[in-house]
Structures are given as C-alpha cells and as structure tokens.
Amino acid sequence: MFLNALPKLSPSDIMAKIKRYTSKKLREEFPHLKHLQSLWTRSYFVSTAGNVSSETIKQYVENQKKRN
C-alpha cells in the first residue's frame, strides 16, 4: 500500500488506524476471526519523502516471511 499523508500525521498513527479499521471490517465479514486476539503484527514498513522503490518494499515483505 502506498500512501500520501499530511505531515502532521505520524506514520505510526496512520498504521494504527489502518490496522484498527481493517481488523474491525474483517471480523465483521468473517465471524470466525473474532476469537483471535489480534489480526496484525506490530510491525510495518514506512519510508518517507517518497524515495522508496517497489523493490525495497518487496525485499522488506520477503524478509518478514523469514522471521516467523
């Protein structure tokens, strides 16, 4: 997901809102997820100033899969 946000919004606040909203919607649509304590990990990747390539993001995501 690529986002463009106002500088007054912190990346951590933006991610918290995204995760909170998507968790709520997913649990509404898929009731069997309601018993899970959390749908998302605490990690996320943020790059500012618009200087991040798709390859950088791909590399980050692939490394997350290896961490378990």
Q: How much of the chain exceeds pLDDT 90, in percent?
A: 34
Is the residue at 1 inside a domain?
A: no
Evaluate whether residue 56 is within a structural domain: yes
Within a domain: 4: no
The structure tokens listed for 2 are 């690529």
Q: What is the number of structural domains in the chain?
A: 1
- Whether residue 27 is contained in a domain is answered as yes
pLDDT digits (tens, 9 = 90+) for 16-39: 999 999 999 999 999 999 999 989
Residue 5: inside a domain, yes or no? no
**Within a domain: 3:** no
Contact 46, 11 (CB under 8 A): yes
Q: For residue 15, give its domain range.
A: 11-67
Name the most confidently modeled range: 2-6, 10-14, 22-26, 40-44.
Answer: 22-26
Q: Does residue 55 lie in a domain region?
A: yes
What does the alpha-carbon distance between residue 57 and residue 46 come to, in Å, rounded to a whole number?
9
